[in-house]
């Protein structure tokens, strides 16, 4: 022994940093696991949807020289006005960038059938700034010019004038794909009405019935004639506010032979817009679990022209708007039309068709779907 006294080192109290770091690490891992799980589930849901790659349309390249010149003048005037008022804060005015046009097509063909006519066509225009959805019915008996179209197999097609409902069918039989049905329809709508379709959605009647049943049906205001027609088709109904499940709802949406209808597609499409507005109001009230259950059942029965990323982008814009979303019924396309009987197929048979004022219709559709110009008088 040296006789030297050595003081023992005191032990430091257990540190708190290490446990906290462990807890944080565990939380990060858990959050990451949840994110991965949600992402996997979300992608699995999206992958249930039937997706087709529709030929892209370069709308700018298709614009006429007159339209381009008019646009140039408008842009120049707007530039000058902006230059003069740079110091002032101008309120936002909805521009074409705020509009998203989705074409909803209801078709009756079963899997494997070639008769893929567009029985119902509704253009849903989402204005992301004003938080509105405008519903425009496309009249299927409208006489339109068949455009020059190159299908997904590279084959060129063209034709004369035919009914709008036939366009979807003709596009389908090009390659027996929904991609060309949608592609030809989109080009036709632009060439004839100035409508720029961003996305397409196809739903068959079986899916329609299932969707309505899954959301618990829809309440609709029925006229006496509508209630009578539904009863004649085997569905019990009463005049006034009435609840429709899938089967009678489909009958209501396709109805065109009730008393006073006179086989009119105008009255029929007005019913469809009324019904769609009620469906959208119903969807806004559904819980997340309800939406998930419906999506599991319905998504495999829907065909869209969107990729997963495009669907996600659309949802990110739409979901925050839902509480304030207003549904607007604009009417039908074309605007300013009249009926005629024509032998459009050259077989000696007269067919009822709708002709229209192309200038006023294009003006109306550009205003409704892009916010350009003004509505024509009387629309």
Q: Mean pLDDT lowest for which of 14-23, 38-47, 333-342?
A: 14-23
List Cβ<8 Å contacts ≥24 apart for 277-282.
277/135, 277/327, 277/329, 278/218, 278/219, 278/220, 279/212, 279/215, 279/218, 280/133, 280/325, 280/327, 281/327, 282/215, 282/216, 282/218
| Arithmetic mean of pLDDT over the chain | 82
More confident residue, 88 or 119: 119
* Architecture of the 216-285 domain: 3-Layer(aba) Sandwich (3.40)
Residue 38: pLDDT band with limits 50, 70, 90 = low
Backbone angles phi, psi at 370, to 5 degrees: -135, -5
- pLDDT tens track for 270-296: 898 888 888 888 887 887 778 778 888
| Chain region(s) in the chain for CATH 3.40.630 | 216-285
What does the alpha-carbon distance between residue 189 and residue 45 come to, in Å, rounded to a whole number? 31
3-state secondary structure (DSSP) of residue 236: coil
What does the alpha-carbon distance between residue 133 and residue 325 come to, in Å, rounded to a whole number? 7
Q: Give me the pLDDT at residue 172, please.
A: 92
Q: Give me the pLDDT at residue 237, please.
A: 92
More confident residue, 27 or 347: 347
| Chain region(s) in the chain for CATH 3.30.420.590 | 51-57+94-204+302-379
Residue 9: pLDDT band with limits 50, 70, 90 = low
The mean pLDDT of 98-124, rounded to a whole number, is 82
> What tokens appear for 201 in the block?
């959605």
Q: Mean pLDDT lowest for which of 33-42, 132-141, 222-231?
A: 33-42
- pLDDT tens track for 331-351: 889 988 888 888 888 888 888
* Architecture of the 51-57+94-204+302-379 domain: 2-Layer Sandwich (3.30)
Q: Which residues contact 218 (CB under 8 A, 6 or more apart)?
A: 212, 243, 244, 249, 275, 278, 279, 282
Residue 93: pLDDT band with limits 50, 70, 90 = low
- pLDDT tens track for 146-177: 999 999 999 999 989 999 999 999 999 999 99
The mean pLDDT of 35-58, rounded to a whole number, is 78
């Amino acid at each position: 022994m040296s006789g030297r006294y050595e003081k023992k080192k005191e032990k430091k109290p257990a540190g708190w940093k290490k446990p906290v770091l462990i807890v944080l690490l565990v939380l990060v891992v858990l959050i990451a696991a949840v994110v991965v799980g949600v992402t996997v589930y979300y992608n699995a849901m999206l992958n249930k949807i039937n997706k087709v790659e529709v030929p892209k349309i370069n709308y700018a390249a298709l614009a006429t020289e007159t339209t381009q010149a008019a646009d140039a003048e408008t842009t120049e005037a707007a530039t000058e006005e902006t230059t003069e008022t740079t110091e002032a804060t101008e309120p936002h005015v909805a521009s074409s960038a705020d509009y998203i046009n989705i074409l909803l097509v209801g078709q009756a063909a079963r899997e494997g059938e070639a008769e893929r006519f567009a029985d119902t066509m509704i253009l849903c225009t989402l204005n992301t700034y004003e938080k509105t959805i405008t519903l425009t019915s496309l009249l299927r008996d409208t006489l339109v010019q068949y455009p020059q179209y190159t299908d997904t197999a590279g084959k060129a097609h063209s034709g004369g004038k035919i009914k709008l409902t036939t366009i979807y069918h003709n596009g389908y039989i090009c390659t027996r794909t929904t991609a060309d049905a949608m592609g030809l329809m989109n080009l036709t709508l632009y060439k004839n009405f100035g409508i720029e379709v961003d996305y397409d959605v196809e739903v068959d009647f079986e899916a329609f019935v299932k969707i309505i049943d899954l959301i618990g049906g829809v309440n609709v205001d029925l006229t006496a004639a509508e209630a009578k027609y539904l009863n004649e088709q085997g569905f019990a109904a009463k005049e006034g506010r009435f609840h429709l499940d899938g089967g009678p709802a489909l009958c209501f949406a396709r109805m065109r032979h009730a008393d006073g209808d006179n086989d009119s597609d105008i009255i029929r499409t007005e019913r469809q817009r009324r019904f769609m507005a009620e469906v959208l109001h119903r969807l806004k009230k559904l819980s997340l679990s309800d939406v998930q259950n419906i999506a599991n059942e319905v998504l495999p029965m829907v065909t869209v022209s969107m990729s997963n990323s495009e669907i996600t982008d659309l949802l990110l814009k739409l979901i925050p708007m839902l509480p304030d979303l207003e549904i607007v019924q604009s009417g039908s396309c074309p605007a300013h039309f009249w009926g005629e009987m024509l032998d459009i197929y050259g077989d000696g048979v007269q067919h009822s068709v709708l002709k229209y004022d192309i200038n006023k219709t294009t003006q109306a559709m550009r205003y409704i779907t892009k916010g350009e110009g003004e509505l024509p008088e009387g629309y």
